[in-house]
Amino acid sequence: MKKIAIVVIMVMACLGCTNTQKTLPADLVKQYYILQITKADTLVKQLYSKVQNNAPADSIKQAFKVARLAYKKTEFLAEYYNPLTAKSINGAPISSMDDNDQHKIDAPEGFQVIEPFIFPQYTNNQKKELLQEIGILKSNFVRLKSVAEHQELANAQVFDALRTEVFRIITLGISGFDAPIAQNSMAEGAAALTSVKEVLNIYKSEFKNQTELNNTVQLLDKGIKNLATSNNFNAFDRMQFITSYANPLSASILNLSQQLGNPEFKDLRALKANAATLFDENAFDANYYTASYDAHMSKEKAELGKLLFYDVILSGSKNRSCGSCHKPELAFTDGVAKNATINGKSLVKETPQLF
> What does the buried/exposed string (b/e) look like for 271-299 if buried means 16 or more CB atoms within 10 Å of the residue's CB?
ebbebbbbeeeeeebeeeeeeeeeeeeee
Residue 279: left if φ>0, alpha if ψ -120 to 50, beta else—which one?
alpha
Of residues 212, 210, 207, the one with CA closest to residue 261: 207
Residue 64 and residue 182 in contact, taking contact as beta carbons nearer than 8 Å? yes
What SS3 class is residue 258? Answer: helix
Q: pLDDT digits over 263-297, tens only?
A: 999 999 999 999 999 999 999 999 999 988 888 98
* Percent of all residues in the chain with a pLDDT value above 70, rounded to a whole number: 91
| pLDDT for the residue 115 | 97
Of residues 67, 59, 72, 60, the one with CA closest to residue 33: 72
Alpha-carbon span 162 to 196, nearest angstrom:
6
Residue 273 and residue 206 in contact, taking contact as beta carbons nearer than 8 Å? no
pTM here is: 0.82
Q: pLDDT digits over 43-79, tens only?
A: 999 999 999 999 999 999 999 999 999 999 999 999 9
| pLDDT for the residue 4 | 45
Task: Tell me which residues of the chain have a pLDDT lower than 50.
Answer: 1-17, 355
| pLDDT for the residue 346 | 78
Alpha-carbon span 183 to 189, nearest angstrom:
11
3-state secondary structure 184-237: CHHHHHHHHHHHHHHHHHHCHHHCCCCHHHHHHHHHHHHHHHHHHCCCCCCCCC
Alpha-carbon span 174 to 187, nearest angstrom:
9
